[in-house]
Structure 1
Amino acid sequence: MIALRSRRLFLPLALLSLAATSFAGGAGAASAAPRFTYHDSAGSITLTAPAYQVVIAKRHFQISARRAGRTVLNTTNTDAIDFTGPNGQATATDVRKATWSHGVLTLSVATTDKSATLAVKVTPSADRYKVESTVQGATPTATGMHFAMASAGHWYGHGEASTDEGGPYTDQPWPLDSGKVADDAFGPASYQMVDPFWFTQSAAGIFFDTQDLMNVDLGKKTAGVAGMEVTGSPGFAATFFVEKTPKAVYDDYIGITGKPAKSDAEPYQYETPLWNSWAQFYTNVDQAGFLDYVHRLHDAKVPGHTMSLDDGWMSHYGDFTFNSKFPDPKAMSDEVHNLGDKFGLWVTLWINLDADNYKVAADKGYLLKSKDDPSKPCTVDWWNGKAGIVDLGNPDARAWYTGQLQALEKTYGVDGFKFDTRFYDETCAPAQGYTANDYVKLGAQLTDEFDQQGVGVRIHWTGSQKYGFVTREIDKGTDWTSLQAAVHQDLAVSTIGYPFVETDMVGGSEGGPPPSKEVLIRWAQAAAAMPLIYSSTSPIRVYDYVNNKWIDYDPDTVKLYNKALDVHKRLAPYIERQVKATLRSGDPIMQPLFFDFPSDKASYTIGDEWLLGDSLLTAPVLSEGTSRDVHLPPGEWYDVTRGRTVRGDLHAYPSDLGTLPLFVRMGTPDTKSLIAALRH
């Protein structure tokens, strides 16, 4: 509990009358601009816009947003705004001075650090308001805000979530407030797909406009409190959306980020899976095993468009030469092509210290430099050792790197690449004239020169949405909880603006025992009703590296896996229409039920169903069992499995291992074509 001493409020003379004043904000003619009313009372300041209010408590400083007479978002009243400075952590206490001028409310706010105050600006506009805060009198290392999560209902956004329950690998809370999320490396260079955007059931939204590293905590440090702190800056700028529906908040954010300018994947890559060797072999892959894998899939008539060789082929990490496990790479590529598939390779910009290319790149200045000693390359630790990173801010370095990829294409008939790891690390110094966030754009430009074969690139942060890359999830485990996390994560990534999603490899890829038959099939079924499918574990046989033995699935596994892939192929024309639609609108292809049905309260906690486009509801089985309850939002739905029209919730809906529960929304432009495609 913070003890507050008695304080005088120093207010401009115009405020002492406590009279309401107004200002015509916005651009254009005054008659067309929204009007904002300012009112100061003894205990609070209220800004009233046509559709919402911002209420600021002067003592026990707090900022609240209200719409239609109800609170939609509250900061906490103990640390609404705080910072970490030379004297430790300090929090806002009360408003010392307030000025309303030209549509901007400027506040001087006292803090628990007697030497420091906060200069806070609140700028309202039609459907949002901006809060900017700067510390004065101290040099902070972090500054941010804290929110009472319950004030806004359920929480969404963020992207891939780190949790004590195994997230993002085996856990992803949906909604976010159902778990405890904490990430102290939340930023543009994170390997996790994250954006500084959150939205809520109450149709409030939060966007932190920063390129700096953030410390984000949602209910972990303090139950029920969301904290967002920006590091390395004396202040922050955050935009708060106040809308009628969560989907409208999403649209507001896409108005800032930009919608995809294109889809990086070709139509055929939406139709059948990419097969990648990682979960099948991990780094133990060799030429004979890879080709056996490819031939077995073909002999079983398992569909696919590309056979991609993952980690395990390089002589050293960063050397683009095959190791001795691959005696004839060109013959291997030719054999894949002769079967009618494309051939892909895993690559990285991270060059290990023992690679031949490391000395070349270091001598030529092609690596990111150390922040501490710019005369030396930056050394980073990753899951394969110690490495330097090719500096894409150096045109010569980029040309050198792309030249080696082009040589792989020419020499071995490689058709495309899976780009792994990151394009930057915060422990390194960016090239002169660049920021850390610029490396997102540089990575996008580099990878766009090559076919990514439907496996995508893990590029993120506000503004990356416009590049239109396929987004693959971070590695998942191989059990039911990992499958559930994969579904929740695609919903999370879709709703921060990345529509071309796929799960991690069907069945998972995090080094555990291979998935059971049931997990593998249910995963394939769930992926069948997503934009793209990313496969690895063969439904025929896979090696168990935990128990050192081969696992042979029964023939029924192949049959059911192929059945799921057939559903996806039947959906391909519909998915292609959704791709074109999202290029026009920026809407997610895979979306939570409440985006289309905001008044359906039950839908806000449902993470095992989703809408693919606006016409197909998917309710896969994501745990053991042969039935599940299905929630159907208001309206009529066509039950694909049973060929009937239904309304309302379905209890214990029968779903044996061969059944993927699908429901077509009646009365949409796609209703007839979807029913025709899926009926047989």
Structure 2
Amino acid sequence: MIALRSRRLFHPLAALALVATSLTAGSASAAPAVKYRDGASDITLTTPAYQVVVAKRKFQITTRRAGRTVLATTNTDAIGFSGPGGRVTATGVRKASWSRGVLTLQVGTTDAAATLAVKITPSADRYRLESVVQGATPESTGMHFAMGSAGHWYGHGEASTDAGGPYTDQPWPLDSGKVADDAFGPASYQMVDPFWFTQSAAGIWFDTQDLMKVSLGKDAPGVAGMEVTGTPSLAATFFVEKTPKAVYDDYIGITGKPAKSDAEAYQYETPLWNSWAQFYTNVDQASFLDYVHRLHDTGVPGHTMSLDDGWMSHYGDFTFNGKFPDPKAMSDEVHSLGYKFGLWVTLWINLDADNYKVAADKGYLLKSKDDPSQPCTVTWWNGKAGIVDLGNPDARAWYEGQLKALQQKYGVDGFKFDTRFYDETCAPASGYTANDYVKLGAQLTDEFDQQGVGVRIHWTGSQKYGFVTREIDKGTDWKSLQAAIHQSLAISTIGYPFVETDMVGGSEGQPPPSKEVLIRWAQAAAAMPLIYSSTSPVRVYDYVNKRWVDYDADTAKLYAKAIDVHKRLAPYIERQVRRTLNTGDPIMQPLFFAFPSDQASYTVGDEWLLGDSLLAAPLLSAGTSRDVHLPPGAWYDVARGKVVHGDLKAYPTDLGTLPLFVRMGTADTKSLIGALRH
């Protein structure tokens, strides 16, 4: 069995330097009229929309709207910090003043020498909280919230859990599991943002570029803890709205909506086929072409055949190894069958690569923090390497030249970029910060066709780049499929609308998916913005059990049928792309975004709205039936050709059925029914 790489240890930087910090950014209006009351036990700020109540003796911050609590900190560790002596928590308010729309507090702590300088600044639909530790040097500063005060929790992005997340687990909502991430930040490989929102229509955004430690119900049951490391201060904005969707809109007002979609229209119609889950690194020219021909001959659609890791002579040398005796002929054969041809690439140059000495001698690599005269050496899943310094214009031009040479010599149409643009153990180029490298990476990758596979760039402000987002690697079982769907919803609702699951059927070095998992995954992907495929529904090698797996002829037919549904939806999806460029709305969204009064929808994670007119309810587990929750209103049942109302029990879902329901009375109702009707 070949050695399969692990992507779990890979943490590429995905930060963005341009983060809005203005309280009035986005939809927030000018400061409202605020009533200030300093009582015996608490301080209250009352705006036309909400109240902020600060308990004085046992420090706690409670947010209320329309007379009810929508978010509350704990009363034991509302704000605190950690240092060499352990955890220090807020105790009580020592001084308070209200001036020019700002509440200023001096808060005592369990460390007699340390206090917290806290400022709360209300605005029309949010308030900003800033806290600075005085009299101590903290290792981290953070806040803790009573999760039950706000109903169910969402946001965050890809979640690390004890149950296998983010690879085989993703709680939906977040409070249904235990989430803990000590490396939550711009440098994480996981798609995450420091933004959470709740069923009560409250939201939290931490304005930071620093590493955070996040626990949602893990460190303490029912407690959400967010700590910012390496700083004595923190800044957070709390949104107070009428619906969760309005909180999302507020956040997008800060991040910025996508300026474009980096995927072309045809890439929304049919899948990209990538070799990774089919072969891992054990790919060669003959097997890759056999893979392409079998898909083509069986009639399974796709727009691009992408050769993943396993083709380079050394990592960082843009030359084919001996397994590919005639790369130009391979590319020509792929083109002759009507596909584009793509390659996996990396900015990391291994120490044994010929290009390493070239890049090191010319100063093209990021420098070591400890010794700036030497290149920075980092460890990744394929060994030890240096990283091309995109802050050096000559280095960037040299790297781009390597890619363009591949295009010219071999007819390569585009690339899958699968590395970070920076490593926090390295030193940035003069005049640059670490966070600047995400922007540099975005500019680099925008020079090339990413072929619908995208780039994993995240953190507040990255939304505006409009990259397709592919999920982190998944397993090949039912749990992994369920996690993939929950994760697509999570990523969509932190502002990344052009989302796709990991490769249909998963990978992670596990045995290939069963026929049922593969088809159900393809059906679910058909009702998402884009499809990312790898495992062939014809034949795949099982590297765990060292044998070929031949799927029956029905598998390819059902897979192609799912893709046909997606292709029928392409004009509708294209309209949703235009819509999100105009509004910032997610394309794939939870039911409660459109139906906030439908309480049952807040725990539904196996259904979603594609745009505002189509509800998808694929089967994500073994069986041939499922219950379907339909929000209030009339829905056209595509499979049965009739209008239905209310929940459907034991809805028949044989392996050829993808339950889809068109919302009646929208601008797209007629065209959707026409496109999907058999």
TM superposition score normalised by structure 2: 0.95
CA contact (8 A) 1:189 1:423 kept: no
1:607 aligns with 2:624: no
Measured against aligned partners, the alpha-carbon deviations of 1:561-602 in whole angstroms (never above 9, x if no partner) come to 011000000000000000000000000000000000000000
Q: Which amino acid aligns with 1:572?
A: A
CA contact (8 A) 1:26 1:34 kept: no
In structure 2, what is the equivalent of residue 10 of structure 1? none
Measured against aligned partners, the alpha-carbon deviations of 1:52-98 in whole angstroms (never above 9, x if no partner) come to 00000111111111000000001111111111224322111111111
Per-residue deviation at 1:33? 5.6
Q: Which amino acid aligns with 1:187?
A: G
Return the match for 2:485 from 476, 484, 487: 487
Per-residue deviation at 1:638? 0.3
Per-residue deviation at 1:432? 2.4
Matches for 1:157-176 after TM superposition, within 5 Å: 157-176=155-174
Distance 2:250 2:648 in 1: 35
3-state SS of 1:509 partner? coil
Distance 1:285 1:164 in 2: 33
In structure 1, what is the equivalent of residue 344 of structure 2? 346
3-state SS of 1:284 partner? coil
In structure 2, what is the equivalent of residue 67 of structure 1? 65
Structure with higher RCO (Cα < 8 A, 6+ apart): 2
Per-residue deviation at 1:312? 0.3
Measured against aligned partners, the alpha-carbon deviations of 1:471-512 in whole angstroms (never above 9, x if no partner) come to 000000000000000000000000000000000000002110
Distance 1:215 1:397 in 2: 35
Q: CA RMSD in A?
A: 1.3
Q: Which amino acid aligns with 2:448?
A: F
Distance 1:120 1:613 in 2: 41
CA contact (8 A) 2:619 2:658 kept: yes
Return the match for 1:533 from 527, 531, 534: 531
Per-residue deviation at 1:34? 2.0
Return the match for 1:431 from 429, 434, 437: 429
In structure 2, what is the equivalent of residue 11 of structure 1? none
Q: Which amino acid aligns with 1:389?
A: I
Q: Which amino acid aligns with 1:160?
A: E
Distance 1:517 1:287 in 2: 27
Distance 2:408 2:224 in 1: 51
Return the match for 1:256 from 254, 261, 269: 254
Distance 1:214 1:388 in 2: 26
3-state SS of 2:34 partner? strand
CA contact (8 A) 1:530 1:590 kept: yes
1:137 aligns with 2:135: yes
In structure 1, what is the equivalent of residue 546 of structure 2? 548
3-state SS of 1:625 partner? coil
Distance 2:498 2:641 in 1: 30
Per-residue deviation at 1:291? 0.3
Distance 2:651 2:425 in 1: 52
CA contact (8 A) 2:31 2:123 kept: no
TM superposition score normalised by structure 1: 0.95
CA contact (8 A) 1:140 1:233 kept: yes
CA contact (8 A) 2:512 2:540 kept: yes
Distance 2:601 2:358 in 1: 56
CA contact (8 A) 2:30 2:124 kept: no
1:146 aligns with 2:139: no
3-state SS of 1:492 partner? helix
Return the match for 1:594 from 573, 592, 596: 592
Per-residue deviation at 1:412? 0.7
CA contact (8 A) 1:120 1:134 kept: yes
1:240 aligns with 2:238: yes
Distance 2:360 2:97 in 1: 55
In structure 2, what is the equivalent of residue 664 of structure 1? 662
In structure 2, what is the equivalent of residue 101 of structure 1? 99
Per-residue deviation at 1:398? 1.1
Per-residue deviation at 1:26? 8.0
In structure 2, what is the equivalent of residue 307 of structure 1? 305
Matches for 1:85-234 after TM superposition, within 5 Å: 85-234=83-232
Q: Stretches of 4+ moved more than 4 A in 1?
A: none
Per-residue deviation at 1:382? 1.4
Distance 2:576 2:470 in 1: 18
Per-residue deviation at 1:99? 1.1
CA contact (8 A) 1:368 1:430 kept: yes
CA contact (8 A) 1:159 1:194 kept: yes
Measured against aligned partners, the alpha-carbon deviations of 1:617-671 in whole angstroms (never above 9, x if no partner) come to 0000000000000000000000000001100000000000000000000000000
CA contact (8 A) 2:95 2:105 kept: yes
Distance 1:405 1:442 in 2: 16
Return the match for 1:476 from 471, 474, 477: 474
Q: Which amino acid aligns with 1:255?
A: G
Distance 1:539 1:95 in 2: 64
Distance 1:624 1:183 in 2: 31
Distance 2:423 2:182 in 1: 14
Q: Which amino acid aligns with 1:164?
A: D
3-state SS of 1:283 partner? coil
1:564 aligns with 2:562: yes
Distance 2:433 2:141 in 1: 20
CA contact (8 A) 1:528 1:568 kept: yes
Distance 1:193 1:282 in 2: 23
Q: Which amino acid aligns with 2:216?
A: L
Distance 1:111 1:121 in 2: 16
Q: Which amino acid aligns with 1:106?
A: T
Per-residue deviation at 1:156? 0.3
Per-residue deviation at 1:395? 1.5
CA contact (8 A) 1:211 1:436 kept: no
Per-residue deviation at 1:676? 0.5
Distance 1:262 1:390 in 2: 27
CA contact (8 A) 2:32 2:122 kept: no
CA contact (8 A) 1:202 1:246 kept: yes
Distance 1:166 1:679 in 2: 39
Distance 1:140 1:424 in 2: 27
Distance 1:321 1:26 in 2: 51
CA contact (8 A) 2:30 2:123 kept: no
Name the stretch that deviates more: 607-616 or 231-240.
Answer: 231-240
3-state SS of 2:54 partner? strand
Identity percentage over the alignment?
86
In structure 1, what is the equivalent of residue 317 of structure 2? 319
In structure 1, what is the equivalent of residue 456 of structure 2? 458
Per-residue deviation at 1:433? 2.4
3-state SS of 2:107 partner? strand
Per-residue deviation at 1:376? 2.2
Q: Which amino acid aligns with 2:635?
A: W
3-state SS of 2:281 partner? helix
Per-residue deviation at 1:195? 0.5
